[in-house]
Structure formats: structure tokens, C-alpha cells
Amino acid sequence: MDVTDLAINKLIILYILNKLNKPSTNSQLTQIILENNLINYFTLQQYISELINTGFINTITDNKKQYLVISSKGSDTLNFFLNRIPDAKIEQLDDYFENKNESTQKIEPAAEYMPIKDGFEVNLILKKGAKNLIEIKLPVKTMEDIELIRTNWKNSGEDIYNNLTNLLNKK
């Protein structure tokens, strides 16, 4: 491995820690690197150790567990040399984090209502992060109906969405 590859691999490690934006364990960092086939395990451990020893990564110990976090020196270096990381690697990691974030986002049901001519309209929304998965508008007559629908949506909205999706995707 030449010096350029070594530098790029260390920048990739800094990029990941910067992207995580929170203290991470060696295991978490290693998992990301290995899942993306970026650096082999033994070389990665050597690089992490070197980055710690040179002050590009700081360690934090909390509850007897050690965490890694990019230092200000590491952040400055990453910002200065970011263009040295191949675009394909940046895209790969950005896609990885985007998909990881989407898969870990919680699904949240929301229900709002407004008066209309013959009663009310209930707007049921199922959100995942900032994205609406589904939005359903129902006419209802009474406040009791609204409360029942809101409670059922809160408790079963995700199941209703999954059942509806399955029904609509049936051949």
C-alpha cells in the first residue's frame, strides 16, 4: 500500500467519524468500514491507533466504555483534504448513512381534524422522519368518532398502512 492510499484511508475514517457526529465505539466504526469493504480489519485497527496517537481522533471513556470522536485537528485536516477522498467513496458512504438513517427512523402516526360543512374531516398521517408515508382524509360526524379514529390510528396506523400496501401490491 502506498502513502496516498494510507492517507485516503485515514481521511475516510475521519470522514465517517465526522459524518456520525457523535462519539462512536471502535466496533461501530469497524462495522461501517467492513460493511462498505473499505479497509481490512487489521489495517483499520492500526490506522485508528495511529489517528489517536497523532491527535486526529480523541477517545472518551464513559461507563468503562471507550468512544472515538474526531478531534478539531482531525476535523480541520478532513476539511482541508476532503477533495482527496475519491467521489465514489464519498457517495458510497453518504448512501450508506442515508439508508441507515431511513431504516432506523421511527414511524409516527399523526391525526388532525378540522370542521367541515357536515361535521369534521380527520386527516390521518403516517410519518417516517420528515417523509409522509401515507395521508388519509376521512369525513366524520362527531367528536366521539374523531377520538376513536385518532386512538385507533395511533395504536394501529402502521399495521393499517402495511395491510393497505400489501393489498394494493397483490397480483
Query: Do 98 and 120 reside in the same domain of the chain?
Result: no
Query: Do 87 and 115 reside in the same domain of the chain?
Result: no
Query: Do 37 and 117 reside in the same domain of the chain?
Result: no
**Percentage of the chain exceeding pLDDT 90:** 63
Q: What is the pLDDT of residues 40-73, one digit of tens each?
A: 999 999 999 999 999 999 999 988 889 999 999 9
Mean pLDDT in residue range 1-24 = 88
Integer Cα distance of 30 and 39 in angstroms: 9
Judge contact between 38 and 89, C-beta under 8 A.
Answer: yes
Provide the residue range defining the domain that includes 119. 107-168
Q: Residue 101: pLDDT band by 50, 70, 90 thresholds? A: low
Query: Do 76 and 27 reside in the same domain of the chain?
Result: yes
**Three-state DSSP state, 163:** helix
Integer Cα distance of 68 and 58 in angstroms: 6
Query: Do 9 and 57 reside in the same domain of the chain?
Result: yes
